[in-house]
Structure 1
Amino acid sequence: MHFDEIIHTVGGFGKFQKLLYVWISLPQIFLAFHMLVSIFTGAVPPHRCRGSGSSAGSPGSLNFSLLTSGELSCPVHSNQSDAGAFPEGQPNVSCKGGWEYSTETFQSTIVTEWDLVCDMASLNHVGSSIYMFGLLVGALLFGILADKYGRRNIILISLAIQAVFGVGAAFAPNFYIYTALRFMVGTSISGVIMNAFVLGTEWTGSKQRMLAGIVTDYSFGVGYILLAGVAYLIRDWRKLQLAISAPGFFFIFYILVLPKSARWLMINNRNEEAWDLIRKAAQMNGKNFTQDLEMCQVYKAEDKSEIQTKYSILDLVRTPRMRQQSLIVFYLWFVNILVYYGLSLNISDLGMNIYLTQMIFGLVEMPARTITLFTLNRSRKFSQLAFLLVGGSACLLSIFVPNDLSVLRTTLAMVGKFGITASLSIIYVYSAEVFPTVIRQNGIGMGSMCARLGGVLAPMMHFLRLLSPQAPMILCGLLPLLGAALTLLLPETANKPLPDSIQDIEGHKLRFKSLSLCSACQQQA
């Protein structure tokens, strides 16, 4: 008997699974906090260089309202005696007299504390990219460790790392230590996201997996919205960092309530522990678990060690059709994450109140994820294509809106965020169905790596503003449109059997392996 049949017998989504999803959904709220907090902790308030000709020492006399962006307040090479004057041009010198910052919106940020403006502004964006690089490292490291030591253990370790290093970042003495601590938090984020999703999937029946997976996405959206309120109430960056990190220590009780993966235990020949958990799940779900069922052999069709001895990552690109589909899916992962965080991390460029914009962008997450529940069953392919078109077109249209129409620009960005969020939800399901069983794990792993690469590059999109103020939104528009066109080359997978082999993809003659059931299972049949 396959493990999915056992899950169906004990209840595919009963009380046991629902409680499990409560446990794996709660940390998602704090993951959203950590992923997006740099919008506020790394914000650049209006600022001005103290100069010999300016009102040094009297920041209250400076009219910060005239400074609409950090770039306009940076000094340039000039023969003017007043170092506080700001003629038009690109900033290229430092401020020797020190900086004065507006405290109207923020009491303090890492920018105001460590003067990360003008010639030092790039450090702020590089720091965000290093954090995102931590997610890539965490995906590689904790993915391997989870296969070896179990999903539950790695989730617990990742939550501990997140709490310790997150709190540590609130007391960082300088920017470089702060960045290193945030990097460690980033690695822990991947450890929680990946393994919580896998743990939930391995305990859930096949028919409920799509719905159950989106449940955790809703929790991330809740965190997205709540962050706006928390940041509005806490305007000091150190206190804000502490507020989102310290509650992580409460997850210590997960040692008592978070179950292991019975599927993983069986694959690692820890059958007695697995059956104890399965009996507990059956009892909680109100199902009868007979002795005959326990005697059935569980075929390890998804045993990773067996798969890896026959197939490798190279098989993703070895044959023509598989290569085409793999490269397109990898691109879709990359562009979805790049545009998602490109829009999310640069909301201050839209010209509206940063807290209100953050809340609106968070609210958009809910209908965007909900609508995919109705479109996915009709068509994976055209759902992906349509939402990429919506997201890309809205971003592209926003470049034609004048800066003084901030409400219209924000509305278009919101529509773009809606499309990309829905598209991102779809690619999780779609990619799992495009890759055949024998290389599905490799395919999703490579897709995740491409996604993290997009996350690393997302904060760097800000530097495109040096070429043109519209350049970031042009990129956020064109890349999804290209992805929509490439999606036309992918197969439709809705309501179709999953491919098991590369031959299924290439259309060659199939070879099937016969599996015999044990005598007890045959008698039940």
Structure 2
Amino acid sequence: MSGIGEILKTVGEFGPFQKWLVLLTLLPCLSVAFHQFCQLFMVPNVPHHCDTSWIRAIGPNLTEEEQLNLTLPRDADGAYEQCSMYSPVDWDLGSIVAYGLNDTEKCSSGWVYPPAQPPSLLTEFDLVCDRKDLNDISQSIYMMGMFLGALIFGPLSDRIGRRPVILISIFLQGLFGVAIAFVPHFYVYMAFRCVVGASVSGITMTILSLATEWIGASSRPMAVLMSHCCFAIGQMILAGLSYGIRNWRLLEIAGSAPTFALFFYIWVLPESARWLVTQGRIEEAKKVLKKAASINKRTIPPGLLEQLKPETQTKSGSILDLFRKKHLLKVTLIMSCAWFVNSLVYYGLSLNVTNFGLDIYLTQLAFGAVEIPARLGCILLLQWFGRKKSQAVLLLLSGLVCLIIIGIPEDQPMVTTVLATIGKFAASASFSTSYVYTAELFPTVVRQTGVGLCSMSARVAGIVAPLIRLLSQYHRAIPMAIYGTAPVVGGLLCVLLPETRGMDLVDDTGGSHPKAEVHENANSSSGNGHGKGKGGGQDNEYTKTTYF
């Protein structure tokens, strides 16, 4: 794309304009973290038993303990069964007391919960016994929404722009997030959560592309990963919110209503200049570039702006380009696999927070806290070792930790939680690497489509991850074995990817397969000041060597 890379260097690769843009990308991450994990705190473990009030018609003066003794069987430990009851009979109370009841059946009249228990999804919608799997299924429905969001908003952003998609997604998240607090049925709850999941995909993917296309190569990892750190802070805030607000409806409002404050984005959020140029909207691109240069206190030479023209052969990319061109096909398949396995282990550990044996609020706080050094440390990893090595090693580490957890006895919850935290650390850093790496691998005309496709594969994993937990009823080691094996395979595949450290972004889908040595030379030249990305040190020729 003629001139746009040179102009962006003149504008400044990480000046006040870009810093303001990064700040705008941080704010939605707080609500994204809330919606991602809030349901974990809305379905607490609550004592329950079958409603056996039928016997009150026969013995209205029975105490609660007498009622339960007469109508509920006991398990091997002597506790009342939670999911079965003695079948109702037409006997008088004396006969029931004298002979007892023998025939059992599943709860036919609902369940009884402790009277002081705050309203939760579990108590309001009876997510117990035969209905307990609805909890994991609803998490999968939410991930299905994220999948649909990636499917819809990825190509839509490449077609109508980054800015409109972000605004639409924020509106949907605020509207349906608050509406969830007023749903009358659990199936309506799942439907609204699906829409919220779609909006989360629209926000996270599109903000990534917008930041990537405005910020220079040297500052790009730091800018993108700062938003991921804010996501980790959002998880920690969730732990505090859920601890203080036990009513699930009030918690949903508290986490969703602040999203409406982001509507000021309508006036301040810029469009991507790179995207505008790829669409031939040159005058709009010039206007936003001049504004960015003004904020950065830079001046763009008029002659340089006049050279800003889309190349005649350039046209909007499509998802088919990702499969028609050999170099893009390789990137698409491997990165889709990497996102899939990364999402599988990340959500496998995150959604399993209630089963590690320690307090759920402290565990969630630890899971959120550990992501901050993971995301920040990822910035250094990407700068020191590059994208490819970081992606591969972090995936391998997260998988190996899950495999080690299999061998830890159930009576060692502290050890299991520590290992899970290490795994979450590696998975978080790996996920951050995937975002930066993927945005750099795909050209501008199909960047959002490519990121969307990879995100779709991650959402498929997100759909599967809660369902894999159901396999623990056959053997407790099965879920962790799957969560551990998949990222090991994905990490090995990442070795086949090209390196993009210090490279400029590619705008069109053209290109061939340069040799790996070209990348090494490019990286070494960046170390000599030729391609550091600090205000004009990269030649346009490096644009051609970003991809295999």
Take 1:11 and 1:132, find their aligned partners in 2: how far apart are those partners?
38
Match for residue 430 of structure 2 among 423, 431, 434: 423
| Alpha carbons 1:46, 1:73 under 8 Å: kept | no
Q: Does 147-156 or 228-237 show the bigger shift?
A: 147-156
For these two proteins, the number of residue pairs brought into alignment is: 486
| Alpha carbons 2:154, 2:449 under 8 Å: kept | no
| Alpha carbons 2:162, 2:210 under 8 Å: kept | yes
DSSP-derived class of the 2:512 partner? helix
Shift in Å at residue 362 of structure 1? 0.3
Take 1:343 and 1:61, find their aligned partners in 2: how far apart are those partners?
41
DSSP-derived class of the 1:415 partner? helix
Shift in Å at residue 399 of structure 1? 2.1
Shift in Å at residue 178 of structure 1? 1.0
Q: Structure 1 pair 434/210, CA: closer, same or farther in 2 (3 Å)? A: same
| Aligned twin of 1:140 | 151
- Mapped pair 1:202 → 2:213: yes
Shift in Å at residue 124 of structure 1? 1.7
Normalised TM-score (structure 1): 0.83
Shift in Å at residue 337 of structure 1? 0.6
Match for residue 166 of structure 2 among 144, 155, 169: 155
Shift in Å at residue 483 of structure 1? 2.3
Q: Does 455-464 or 353-362 show the bigger shift?
A: 455-464
Take 1:491 and 1:20, find their aligned partners in 2: how far apart are those partners?
29
| Aligned twin of 2:113 | 101
Q: Structure 1 pair 151/224, CA: closer, same or farther in 2 (3 Å)? A: same
Normalised TM-score (structure 2): 0.80
Shift in Å at residue 171 of structure 1? 0.3
Match for residue 357 of structure 1 among 355, 359, 363: 363
Shift in Å at residue 95 of structure 1? 1.5
Q: Does 270-279 or 210-219 show the bigger shift?
A: 270-279
Equivalent AA in structure 2 for residue 345 of structure 1? L
1:462-498: per-residue Cα shift (whole Å, max 9, x none)? 2111211222222222222222333344455546788
Take 1:493 and 1:272, find their aligned partners in 2: how far apart are those partners?
31
The CA RMSD measured in Å over matched residues stands at 3.5
Q: Structure 1 pair 274/502, CA: closer, same or farther in 2 (3 Å)? A: closer
Match for residue 454 of structure 2 among 447, 454, 457: 447
Shift in Å at residue 102 of structure 1? 5.0
Taking every aligned residue pair, what percent have the same amino acid on both sides? 41
DSSP-derived class of the 1:359 partner? helix
| Alpha carbons 1:51, 1:97 under 8 Å: kept | yes
| Alpha carbons 1:166, 1:182 under 8 Å: kept | yes
1:191-245: per-residue Cα shift (whole Å, max 9, x none)? 1111111122222223322221111111111111111001111001000001111
Take 2:155 and 2:444, find their aligned partners in 1: how far apart are those partners?
19
| Alpha carbons 1:131, 1:186 under 8 Å: kept | yes
Q: Does 114-123 or 42-51 show the bigger shift?
A: 42-51
DSSP-derived class of the 1:260 partner? coil
1:422-473: per-residue Cα shift (whole Å, max 9, x none)? 1112223334556688976654443222111111112212211121122222
Q: Structure 1 pair 93/24, CA: closer, same or farther in 2 (3 Å)? A: farther
In the TM superposition, what are the counterparts of 1:74-89 in structure 2 within 5 Å? 74-75=82-83
| Alpha carbons 1:2, 1:300 under 8 Å: kept | no
Take 1:323 and 1:289, find their aligned partners in 2: how far apart are those partners?
37
Take 1:410 and 1:34, find their aligned partners in 2: how far apart are those partners?
23
- Mapped pair 1:504 → 2:505: no
| Alpha carbons 1:166, 1:245 under 8 Å: kept | yes
| Aligned twin of 1:344 | 350
Match for residue 471 of structure 1 among 468, 473, 478: 478
Q: Structure 1 pair 6/489, CA: closer, same or farther in 2 (3 Å)? A: closer
Take 1:302 and 1:42, find their aligned partners in 2: how far apart are those partners?
55
| Aligned twin of 1:521 | none
Higher RCO (Cα < 8 Å, 6 or more apart) = 2
DSSP-derived class of the 2:284 partner? helix
| Aligned twin of 1:25 | 26
Shift in Å at residue 116 of structure 1? 1.1
Equivalent AA in structure 2 for residue 298 of structure 1? K
Equivalent AA in structure 2 for residue 75 of structure 1? C
Shift in Å at residue 356 of structure 1? 0.4
Q: Structure 1 pair 243/60, CA: closer, same or farther in 2 (3 Å)? A: farther
Take 2:381 and 2:312, find their aligned partners in 1: how far apart are those partners?
31
| Aligned twin of 1:220 | 231
Take 1:23 and 1:494, find their aligned partners in 2: how far apart are those partners?
25
DSSP-derived class of the 1:207 partner? coil
Equivalent AA in structure 2 for residue 2 of structure 1? G
Take 1:396 and 1:60, find their aligned partners in 2: how far apart are those partners?
48
Shift in Å at residue 404 of structure 1? 2.4
**Unmatched segments (≥5 aa) in structure 2:** 57-61, 69-73, 90-103, 517-539, 541-548
Shift in Å at residue 177 of structure 1? 1.0
| Alpha carbons 1:114, 1:174 under 8 Å: kept | yes
Q: Structure 1 pair 430/160, CA: closer, same or farther in 2 (3 Å)? A: closer
Take 1:93 and 1:335, find their aligned partners in 2: how far apart are those partners?
42
- Mapped pair 1:409 → 2:409: no
